[in-house]
Chain A
Amino acid sequence: MLVSVKDLERDITTVHASDLISQVLASCSRGALWITGLLDQQIINTAELFDLSGVVFIGNRRPSADIIDTAVEEQIPVLVTKLSMFEACGLLYAEGLQPALRS
């Protein structure tokens, strides 16, 4: 975990995995966790605007200081993992997390 927030007590039940921002907005509900390989500051801005619970960057790449600063400012939890997209999704799916679908 790279960026923590004040109230980290949030229950996450849904996940969305995508590198395309519009895809998230078209199919994702509020409160979801976002898994992405796209290391961009825009991801954090988007997560804040759309009330997402947090962002997971896959592939063990370290986000830039800009990304981290934005996440701290916006209070968006950021996690990094060595796992690939496939593995990260599989693990969370096996733990019972559900796809974030827009109603």
Chain B
Amino acid sequence: MFKKVFRVEGGNFQKAGSVSKQIKKILKQLNLDGELIWRAMIIAYEAEINAVLYAHECQVSLEITAEKIYMRFKDKGPGIPDISLAMTEGYSTATRAMRERGFGAGLGLPNIRKTSDHFEITSTVGVGTTLDIDLFLN
């Protein structure tokens, strides 16, 4: 089993995507299927960007076993008051500055759910948000 923990800094656009890039490198070294890596990247990137946009900091745990890729994104931040609204395609609270950088379509969370084999989101307002995701290898 492979295990690694990463940290995402909220607000740091310069580094946005760098954790996803590290994860991609690991998955490639393990010779996993290209399509599976691509799906893992959708999840990792959307979750990482949300942490950069909305959270103060986020801990990313990656675990790879013979059966699955498991990713957990646990952030400290404002949390999400209405999860089902946040999961709706097109819903976004992104600011104008964020939209000018190409974010804020309101598609990130719905796409993470769609791309995952198993997806769970929990959030506490004023504390933070946690995503738990499984991608099965077969």
Contacts and interface: CB of A to CB of B under 8 A. Distances in A.
Interface of A: 19-23, 25-26, 30, 36, 38, 40, 42-43, 45-46, 48-51
A25 B45 CA distance: 9
Interface string B1-23: 00000000000010011001100
Nearest to A27: B107
A30 B38 contact: yes
Contact of B101 (A26, A36, A40): A40
B interface SS class: helix
Contacts, number: 60
A20 B105 contact: yes
Given A45-B17, A49-B20, A21 B102 contact: yes
Interface centre among A21, A36, A42 (most CB of B within 10 A): A21
B111 interface: yes
17 contacts: A21-B103, A21-B105, A22-B107, A22-B108, A23-B105, A25-B42, A25-B107, A25-B111, A26-B110, A30-B34, A40-B102, A42-B13, A42-B16, A42-B101, A48-B21, A49-B45, A50-B38
Interface of B: 13, 16-17, 20-21, 24, 34-35, 38, 41-42, 45-46, 49, 101-108, 110-111
A91 to B, nearest CB: 23
A26 B21 contact: no
B118 to A, nearest CB: 19
Q: Among B35, B101, B103, find the residue whose CB has the most chain A CB atoms closer than 10 A.
A: B101
Contact of B102 (A42, A48, A51): A42
B107 A49 contact: no
Given A22-B46, A25-B107, A49-B24, A43 B102 contact: yes
Contacts of A50: 38, 41-42, 45
A25 B46 contact: yes
Contacts of A42: 13, 16-17, 101-102
Nearest to A23: B105
A49 B104 CA distance: 19
Contacts of B34: 30, 51
